[in-house]
Structure 1
Amino acid sequence: MRSDVLVVAIPGRLPRIECRGALAARQTEPDTVHLVSAAATPLGGDTIAIRLIVEPGARLRLRSAAATVALPGAGTTQSWACWHIEAAGELDVDPEPTIVAATARHFSELRVHLAESGRLRIRERVQIGRTDEREGFWSGALHADVAGAPLLRHRVELGQGAVADDALGTPLACVSELRYPEPAADAAGITLALAAGGSLSTWQGARL
């Protein structure tokens, strides 16, 4: 199944929201939208496509009502989440964690296009497995540009078959946070300043 969500933040107006498939979006405050599952997703074979547009002078906070649980499907274990972000205003994305359960293999890609006037915070939290599970796999890629110039190219893998997969100490949880233009002062893990402004903070461990 394919699920599509479009949220457009416009200054002085309520966000425009369009949804199709197993994922819905609901406005919960004037500048806040929550993602809500209308059916179980992502299962193996599912694709979630989320597009966020924040116009100049607008502000958008994106949250989710509950954690996302990726599960294997009958025909394939692989599922995908694809984010396309265009921000000329202020955007804060902080959904609940993604849990990669059982033998699921979940692939996430975020592509961010910021205007020079854009302000951004994106936090992504991932956990491999529910209680006593460690067979899942997650790959997350983040590609961010500011005014057409590269800001960040970043990829993390977790779980079985990941680059860091080691019987002695495989990390099964991750928190990544991108901020622009000011660097983070209160994010989890290690914060690295970016050459073009802002920062990337990362943390890895056994459990969130």
Structure 2
Amino acid sequence: MTVAVRAATTVVQVAAGADRARVVLRSGVIAARILERRPRYARVGLVAAGALLLGGDAVDLRISVDPGCTLELEDIGGTVAYDGQGRRASWSARIEIGDHGTCTWHGQPFVIADGADVDRRTDAQLGDGAALLLRETLVLGRVGERGGAIRVRTGIAVQDTPVLIEHLDVTGWAPVPGVLGADRVLDSVVLIGREPAEDPESWRRDGTAVLRPEHGGLLIRSIVGAAHLGDVTPAWHALREELFRAA
């Protein structure tokens, strides 16, 4: 029996407008919906157009922010990568932010269920004076599960200079010491293109690390057994408010 592969690109493009920002949307496996618009600002919600992720699914997102504009992306609900029955799924996002533009993306938990096999990739290119703020929460397994396998690739560059390059391979049934070990939740906030005004050490908790990329920015990461044990939400809200005060 042949199983259909769901693979379609979701596009979000934001440009300045006289009264409201001009927003171009094209929905794929992920549907995009406008939530709010101002002359150089748009808030867009992303929601699954069906059950995600199934074996063979290929989610592809292309995000573009014109110079001087701001885009806020919000996941509407979390994502579960289900048992793929031996078939791999993929989730890929490409973000381009023009000079002095801003993009924030608040992701909801991405759960890797038993039997899932996922490639997840995020690539971003920032122009001069641009800023990017990301929230990503990876959860190995649903309640009572150890979780499947996921390979996470992140590459962020500012004016073609790499700022953050990270490769992370995690398998729920074969935990690796020094990566997640016995823990199940990897919760991260990434800020590139700005330096925080608040002391990042104020967000450090048990199980939470504060890292500074060599070329600027901030990575706050919590590795814990359950999401409520190492919440990085206060850091997300503080950094988001800083970005919008500076805009």
Q: Same fold (TM over 0.5)?
A: yes
Is it true that 1:41 corresponds to 2:52 in the alignment?
yes
| 1:163 Cα deviation from its structure 2 partner | 6.5
> Counterpart of 2:12?
7
User: Equivalent residues in 2 for 1:150-161 (5 A)?
Assistant: 150-160=162-172
Correspondent of 1:123 among 115, 132, 135: 135
Correspondent of 1:206 among 225, 232, 240: 225
User: Equivalent residues in 2 for 1:14-53 (5 A)?
Assistant: 14-20=22-28, 22-30=29-37, 31-53=42-64
User: Equivalent residues in 2 for 1:104-183 (5 A)?
Assistant: 104-160=116-172, 164=176, 169-183=181-195
Q: Secondary structure at the match of 1:15?
A: strand
| 1:202 Cα deviation from its structure 2 partner | 1.7
Task: Write out per-residue CA displacement over residues 94-123 of structure 1, whole angstroms, 9 at most, x where no aligned residue.
Answer: 121101112112221111111112111011
Q: Distance in 2 between matches of 1:161 and 1:144?
A: 30
Report which of the two structures shows the higher radius of gyration computed on alpha carbons.
Answer: 2
Q: Secondary structure at the match of 2:83?
A: coil
Correspondent of 1:96 among 108, 111, 118: 108
Q: Distance in 2 between matches of 1:36 and 1:53?
A: 18
Is the CA contact 1:157–1:164 (under 8 Å) kept in the aligned structure 2? no
Question: Unpaired runs of 5+ in structure 1?
Answer: none
| 1:77 Cα deviation from its structure 2 partner | 3.9
Q: Distance in 2 between matches of 1:9 and 1:2?
A: 23
Question: Unpaired runs of 5+ in structure 2?
Answer: 1-5, 228-247
One-letter amino acid matched to 1:6: V
Higher relative contact order (CA 8 A, sep 6+): 1
One-letter amino acid matched to 2:51: A
As a proportion of its length, which structure holds more strand? 1
Q: Distance in 1 between matches of 2:168 and 2:174?
A: 9
One-letter amino acid matched to 1:181: G
One-letter amino acid matched to 2:81: A
Correspondent of 1:56 among 58, 67, 72: 67
As a proportion of its length, which structure holds more helix? 2
One-letter amino acid matched to 1:19: S
The answer to which of 11-20 and 106-115 deviates more is 11-20
